[in-house]
Chains A and B, each alone.
Chain A
Amino acid sequence: MSDITKQSLTELVDNIKNKKLSSLDVTKAFIERSEKSKELNVYITNDFTSALDKAKKFDQKPNLNLKLPGIPMAVKDLFCTKDVKTTAGSKILNNFVPTYESTVTENIWNEGAILLGKLNCDEFAMGSSNETSFFGNVQNPIDKDLVPGGSSGGSASAVAGQLTPITIGTDTGGSIRQPASFTGTVGLKPTYGSCSRYGIVAFASSLDQAGPMAQNVKDCALLQEVISTYDSKDSTSVDFKRNQYSKELTNNINGKKIGIPKEYRVDGMPKEIEDLWQKGIQYVKDCGAETIDISLPHTSYALPTYYIVAPAEASSNLARYDGVKYGFRAKGENLIDMYEKTRSEGFGAEVQRRIMIGTYVLSSGYYDAYYLKAQKVRKLIKNDFDEAYKKVDAILTPSTPSSAFKIGEKTNDPVSMYLNDIFTVPVNLAGLPGISIPAGHDSKGYPLGLQIIGKAFDEQNILNIAYAIEEKIDFKNKITDWWIK
C-alpha cells in the first residue's frame, strides 16, 4: 500500500485493525519520509531505531483492542519521555534525560502508540513562530522560509508535512491553535484541568494545557479521548466525567447557539480574515445552528494581562534551572557567579526577556501595580465569558489575525510578535477549551483557521461544531513537498 503517510490517523488505525497494514509498515513509512524531510527541522531528537523495534514487537503479538494500535507518533519536546532526551527547545536542557514519563504521553503509549521522536518548539514554549528554539527555526511545509507558528511549530509542521499521523502540543496562549492555523491543521486546546500537566516542562502553570494536533477533527477527537484523564499527580487535574469524544462525535449541531463577539473585529485586521469569519458564520448557519451577536468587552485587555501573568509564573517556574542537579552549567568563580552565567548562557533572549518581566512584576513595590492588577483583569475577562455563555453554547472567531509570516519578519519587535495571539490568549486566561480548524486560504495560498471556543469541559460540543463545519468547508491543504529533492 503506497501513500501510507497520506492516510489519516483513523484510516491507519482501521487498516492496522483489519490487518491490511502492520505497525512496522506504518512506522517505516513515517520514518522514511522523516529522513527525507530534514530541511523542515522538525525533530530535535529522533527515536527511530527503537520505534522500529517496538513496531516489530507490536506486530508479533498485536493487541488490536487498543485505541492507537501500533501507531507511530512524534511528540513536542516539552513532554518528558523516560530515557529519551527532553530539551524544551533550550540549551539549558540540552542533555537532560528524564527518569519519568509525562502522564499524557504515558496515556498515549498505553493505548499502543509508539514514540517516533521529539519535536522542535520555541524555547520553553515561549514564542509564536518557533524561532526562539535553541535548535533552530522550523520550516512550514506550506512554503519555504515561512514560519509554522509557535510554540508547537515542530508539531504543526510534522502533522502538515505528514511526518507523523498525529501529535500533541501544549498551549499556554495559543501555542496549539496558532500553529495549527498557520499549517492548515486541526488543534485543540482543552479546558484547564482536562489533561494532566504532570511531566510537561512548566511554562505558566495556570495557563498551560496539552492537546492534540491532527489532520482532521475526528482524529483530534480520538487523541483527546486518550490523553484526557484525571491524574492525582497534577493537583489541578479535574475529576469530571469525560466523554468518548470520537465515538460521541456528531455533525448534528441543529439549534446550537453560537456567539459572534464584536470585539474580535480588531483594528487593522486584513479583509481576508473578516471574509473568512463571515464564511464561518454562514457555515454554522447552514448546519442548522443559530448565530447571536455577543460582547466580550475586556478582550483588548487580554494580551497585556497575559504578558504579566505568564512571565510572572515563568520566572518562578524557571528558577529551578541553576546548573546544579541537571542541565547545562557554565563555569563561575563562585556559586552565585555560576548561577548567573549558567542562566545567561543557557537561556535564549526571549526566555531571559520573559524571566526579567516576570521578576519585575513580582518584585517588591510593583506586585500590586502589575501582578495583582493583572489577576483582577483576568477575573473580568473570565466574567465576560461567563456572561456570554448564559446566551450561547459556543463562540466562533478567527484563530489568528493573519496567515503565517516569513522567518525573521517579526523577530526584532516582541510586541508585534505577541499580537499574533490576540484571539487565542483570552481562552487560556479563562481556562476554556478552544479548537482551531483550517477554513480557507489567503491570496498567497496560505491556510487560515477558525476558532471555536466552548464552555469549560464542553470539548464534545466544540468538536461537534468543528466536525459539522469541516464537512462544509472541505479544506484541502496544499502540500507540494517542496523540501524533498
Chain B
Amino acid sequence: MSIDLKTIKHISKLSRISVDEKKAEKLADDLNSIFDFIEKLNELKTDKVEPLTSIAETTLKLRPDDIKSKNIREQIIKNSPQDNEDYFVVPKVIE
C-alpha cells in the first residue's frame, strides 16, 4: 500500500492542518515508511480475537455534578487569543 499526495491532502483536510506541496511530499515519504512498518500486523490472524477497548477493567463510577471552581471566568477569557468582554472572538462565520 502506498499513501499518495491525494491521500495526504485528504487527511490534511480531515485533521485541519494546512500542508503545501513540499510538506505534503515529505509527509507522504514519512507516512509510507511508517505504514510499511505497521503492515507487519497483517502477519497475524485476528478474526477470533476480541479487541481490547479498555485497559482498566473497572466500571465507571458516578459522582455528583458539583461545581467546584468558581469565578474563574476572567482567567479563562484571559487565555484566549482574542476576546470581547465575556466572549471568544473568531473570524466571521455568517455573511
* Chain-B contact segment, one of A180-188, A350-358, A460-468: A350-358
Do the beta carbons of A334 and B92 come within 8 Å of each other?
Answer: yes
CB-defined interface of A73-109 with B at 8 Å, one 1/0 digit per residue?
A: 0000000000000000000000111011000000000
Do the beta carbons of B34 and A431 come within 8 Å of each other?
Answer: no
Do the beta carbons of B80 and A325 come within 8 Å of each other?
Answer: yes
A residues near B82, Cβ cutoff 8 Å: 329
B residues near A298, Cβ cutoff 8 Å: 44
User: What separation, in Å, do the CA atoms of A249 and B37 have in the docked complex?
Assistant: 42
Do the beta carbons of A307 and B37 come within 8 Å of each other?
Answer: yes
Q: Which of B38, B51, B79 is in CB contact (< 8 Å) with A97?
A: B79
A residues near B39, Cβ cutoff 8 Å: 304
User: What separation, in Å, do the CA atoms of A160 and B63 have in the docked complex?
Assistant: 41
A328 within 8 A of B: yes
A residues near B81, Cβ cutoff 8 Å: 323-324, 326-329
- Assuming the A-B contacts A304-B41, A347-B17, A375-B53, are A360 and B3 also in contact, with contact meaning beta carbons closer than 8 angstroms in the complex? yes
B13-45 at interface with A (beta carbon < 8 Å): 14-19, 27, 30-31, 33-34, 37-44
* Chain-B contact segment, one of A14-22, A271-279, A378-386: A378-386
B85 within 8 A of A: no
Nearest B-chain residue to A236, judged by Cβ: B56
Do the beta carbons of A360 and B11 come within 8 Å of each other?
Answer: yes
Do the beta carbons of B52 and A382 come within 8 Å of each other?
Answer: yes
B84 within 8 A of A: no
A373 within 8 A of B: yes
- Assuming the A-B contacts A232-B61, A360-B3, are A431 and B56 also in contact, with contact meaning beta carbons closer than 8 angstroms in the complex? yes
B residues near A308, Cβ cutoff 8 Å: 38, 41
B67 within 8 A of A: no
A301 within 8 A of B: yes
- Assuming the A-B contacts A97-B79, A379-B51, are A355 and B15 also in contact, with contact meaning beta carbons closer than 8 angstroms in the complex? yes
A residues near B54, Cβ cutoff 8 Å: 206, 236
A330-386 at interface with B (beta carbon < 8 Å): 332-341, 343-344, 347, 352-353, 355-357, 359-360, 363, 370, 372-380, 382
Task: Tell me the total A-B contact number using a CB cutoff of 8 A.
Answer: 164
Do the beta carbons of A99 and B72 come within 8 Å of each other?
Answer: yes
Do the beta carbons of A375 and B51 come within 8 Å of each other?
Answer: yes
B86 within 8 A of A: no
Nearest A-chain residue to B38, judged by Cβ: A304
- Assuming the A-B contacts A305-B41, A347-B17, are A372 and B51 also in contact, with contact meaning beta carbons closer than 8 angstroms in the complex? yes
Interchain nearest-CB distance for A352 vs B (Å): 6
Interchain nearest-CB distance for B93 vs A (Å): 5
Do the beta carbons of B16 and A353 come within 8 Å of each other?
Answer: no
Interchain nearest-CB distance for B27 vs A (Å): 6
A245 within 8 A of B: no
A315 within 8 A of B: yes
B residues near A374, Cβ cutoff 8 Å: 41
User: What separation, in Å, do the CA atoms of A374 and B11 have in the docked complex?
Assistant: 20
Do the beta carbons of B93 and A357 come within 8 Å of each other?
Answer: no
User: What separation, in Å, do the CA atoms of A356 and B60 have in the docked complex?
Assistant: 31
Do the beta carbons of B18 and A344 come within 8 Å of each other?
Answer: yes
B residues near A430, Cβ cutoff 8 Å: 55
Q: Which of A97, A339, A357, A380 is in CB contact (< 8 Å) with B78?
A: A97
Do the beta carbons of A339 and B16 come within 8 Å of each other?
Answer: yes
Do the beta carbons of A192 and B56 come within 8 Å of each other?
Answer: yes
A-B contact pairs, 10 of them (CB 8 A): A97-B78, A238-B56, A238-B58, A301-B43, A305-B41, A328-B81, A341-B18, A344-B18, A370-B38, A418-B37
Known contacts A323-B81, A340-B12, then 18 further A-B pairs from the complex at CB < 8 Å, ordered by chain A residue: A97-B75, A99-B79, A193-B58, A303-B37, A307-B34, A322-B16, A325-B79, A329-B82, A333-B91, A334-B93, A340-B17, A343-B15, A353-B34, A359-B11, A363-B14, A373-B46, A375-B52, A377-B44
5 closest residue pairs by CB, A with B: A375-B51, A329-B81, A431-B55, A326-B79, A340-B18
